[in-house]
Structure 1
Amino acid sequence: MASFASPSGRASNRPNVGEGPRRSDVHEPRWRADPAAELAGRATAHAGLSGLAPHDLRHTAASLTIASGASVKGVQRMLGNHEAAMTLNVYASQIEDDLDHAFDRVATAPGS
């Protein structure tokens, strides 16, 4: 744990307010390995899909869900996105392609 000097000169484990990190603190590693990412990496390598990240699987799931006709709000909830606008921004081109196909289906539907 990092040690900081208080205004009185005593050692403390809390930095002084307004004081930036000391040089030795900047070089300490602050990340930890993500066990879920490590597991996913081993699983995809075992399946012969090296280089496939969990986020790639997330995009695939969202794309397949959109292609199956799910609403943007449904995909937003599935992904846990805070706003539907974020989902639209990421998947807008796919949604536009799906609309083109939908219009084609409507145009060729019986009675149209």
Structure 2
Amino acid sequence: MNFDAMMPRDPFADDPNDPASFLTEDEPFEPISDQERIHVQQDLKSVIEFKKILKPRGIEGIFFMCEDCEEFHYYDWDIMAANMRATLAGELSPVHEPSAQPNVEAYVPWDYCLGYLDGLEAR
């Protein structure tokens, strides 16, 4: 899924004095190891399953505590999957903006999702 159409237009588009033109190129993206690839593939399968089981129950995605800014970040299922697919393709994750005011009650931690699925399988 491509989220580019959801992004606002770059305010410096077509501007010859775009401040970004003064930035140097990013370092090349380091490929992930075979072991990391296996983990990302497993996590992607989990996200697909989480969405299938939890979205109909009103859970829109996952939240994480960001260690840099010490705030929660909320990720919809499709954004999580797109980030993982980009990693598997050897690309940087696509830029995305969180919703302005996410319904925080519609997001759960990763471990909650794992526990929920484990509970379903234990029946």
Compute the TM-score of the two structures, normalised by the length of structure 1. 0.21
If you compute each CA radius of gyration, which structure gives the higher value, 1 or 2?
1
Select the structure that is richer in strand.
2
Select the structure that is richer in helix.
1
Compute the TM-score of the two structures, normalised by the length of structure 2. 0.20
Q: RCO greater where, 1 or 2, for CA within 8 Å and sep 6 or more?
A: 2
